[in-house]
Amino acid sequence: MQNLLTRLLRFLPPETAHHLVIRLLRVYQSLWDRIAPLRVTRPITNSVLGLPFRNRLGLGAGFDKNAEAFSGLSRMGFGFIEVGTVTPLPQPGNPRPRLFRLGRRSLVNRMGFNNCGLEKFRKNILRFRSRTPGLVLFANIGKGRNTPLENAIGDYEAGFRALEDCVDGFVVNVSSPNTASLVSLQNESFLKAIAGVAPAEKPVLIKLSPDLSDQEVTVLAQVIKSEKRIAGLVLTNTSRRLAEEKFPEGGGWSGPELFERSLHLVRLVRKTVGPDKVIIGGGGVSTRLDYQRMRAAGADLVEIYTVFVYRGPSVVAEMISSEE
């Protein structure tokens, strides 16, 4: 049934299909939340970030941008979900079309942080959170389109303050290629500024771009290693470089073509930060073998996005059956 639905969705324009799925998930979660008993599964034995992950596979940011479907998504078996990216104020994102399928495995998007803003986002989390026991929830936070770069830190601080009492942790998005100059915040002094406003009680991870050079990533990883308030990294976001040629007007590429670069960066960063920082490995993870290779390269947790769009929930069970 789920496979059939996933196939049928390919006949719709990609963003229409996405909105339909979010709607279906909302119906599904409200029905199941009413009638199905909540099951709390045992957390994995080696705790990560001191949080009770039931498995190490998560859904990357950008699928549930407004935190309105994570309860339904949680029932598909994910150990954790990143909701967002959320910005302080609601914003419509870039003009459509802004999401493109490439064959049957990859996507290019230039959504541009379309989201409902912090106030509604927080309400959504509070509304659905009690229905997701056993799910670790991260908020992925970003900068508003109209906020000048020099005031960006204020937007991230607003995200921390608005959500610190209702999520398990944060991912700081400084790597989306679809908000002008956002990627330039991937620098030493901005990461230190983030550490200066990060909550004391909740883990904060930094999400980086696969388009940074090895040397740039190594420098940032060294900063993160020395900052107590930064718990680790998410590697990686979509690639502007991969999309550039076919989409000169903008967009970031996701899917299997990203995998080897992300895997390489996970290995590199693990060597640089040592065992004490947490790495979430993602970017093109598409098979059980990819999942296992990410883990072997040093990722504590693994996340997917594009393969879930094309293959639906069956891929979750397939990947987590490979471990624990």
Ligand X SMILES: Cc1cc2nc3c(=O)[nH]c(=O)nc-3n(C[C@H](O)[C@H](O)[C@H](O)COP(=O)(O)O)c2cc1C
- Using rule CB under 6 A, residue 143 touches ligand X: no
Mapping DSSP to helix (H, G, I), strand (E, B) and coil, where does residue 91 land? strand
Beta strand extents in the chain (DSSP E only): 57-59, 80-86, 99-102, 106-109, 136-141, 169-173, 204-208, 232-235, 252-254, 278-281, 301-304
d(CA 91, CA 22): 18
Question: Interface with ligand X includes 109 (CB under 6 A)?
Answer: yes
Nearer to ligand X, 29 or 140 (CB): 140
Which letter does DSSP use for residue 242 in this model? H
- Residue 176 binds ligand X, judged by CB under 6 A: yes
Q: Kindly tell me which of 65 and 131 has the beta carbon lying closer to ligand X.
A: 65
Q: CB under 6 A: which stretch of 88-96, 185-193, 194-202, 280-288 binds ligand X?
A: 280-288
Instruction: Report the residue from 70, 160, 305, 310 that binds ligand X according to the rule CB under 6 A.
Output: 305
Which positions ≥6 away from 16 have C-beta within 8 Å? Answer: none
Stretch that binds ligand X, among 22-30, 181-189, 195-203, 281-289 (CB under 6 A): 281-289
Distances (CA, A) of 271 to 144, 259, 277, 278: 34, 19, 11, 12
Q: Does 205 bind ligand X (CB under 6 A)?
A: no
**Pick from 306, 310, 315, 320: which binds ligand X (CB under 6 A)?**
306
Q: How far apart are CA 171 and CA 206, in angstroms?
A: 6
Q: For the CB of residue 197, give the shortest distance to ligand X in the complex, in Å.
A: 19
Among 173, 179, 186, 209, binds ligand X (CB under 6 A): 173
Residue 51 engages ligand X in binding (rule: CB under 6 A): no
- Considering only 60-68, 125-133, 288-296, 314-322, which stretch makes contact with ligand X by CB under 6 A? 60-68
Both structure tokens of 92: 């419509």
Give the span between the Cα atoms of 315 and 306, in whole angstroms.
Answer: 11
Q: Residue 137 has what DSSP assignment? A: E
Does 91 contact ligand X by CB under 6 A? no
Residue 99's contacts (CB-CB under 8 Å, 6 or more residues apart) are 14, 15, 18, 107, 108, 109, 110, 111
Considering only CA atoms, which of 68, 84, 2, 19 is closest in space to residue 310? Answer: 2
- How far is it, in rounded angstroms, from Cα 215 to Cα 212? 8
Instruction: Name which position in 52, 284, 298, 312 contacts ligand X (CB under 6 A).
Output: 284
Q: Does residue number 88 form part of the binding site for ligand X (CB under 6 A)?
A: no
- Interhelix angle 2-9/14-35, nearest 10 degrees: 150
Applying CB under 6 A, among 258, 279, 315, 316 the residue interacting with ligand X is: 258
Report the residue number whose CB is nearest to ligand X. 62
Based on the residue annotation, tell me whether 176 is a catalytic residue of this protein: yes
Is residue 112 part of the contact set for ligand X (CB under 6 A)?
no
Active-site residue, from 175, 176, 239, 262: 176
Work out how close the CB of 303 gets to ligand X at its nearest, in angstroms, rounded to a whole number: 7
> Is 254 an interacting residue with respect to ligand X (CB under 6 A)?
yes
Question: Does residue 84 sit in helix, strand or coil?
Answer: strand
Question: Is residue 285 a contact residue for ligand X (CB under 6 A)?
Answer: yes
Where in the sequence numbering do the catalytic residues fall? 176
The residues that touch ligand X, with contacts defined as CB under 6 A, are 60-62, 65, 85, 99, 107, 109, 111, 113, 140, 173, 176, 207, 237-238, 254-255, 258, 282-285, 304-306
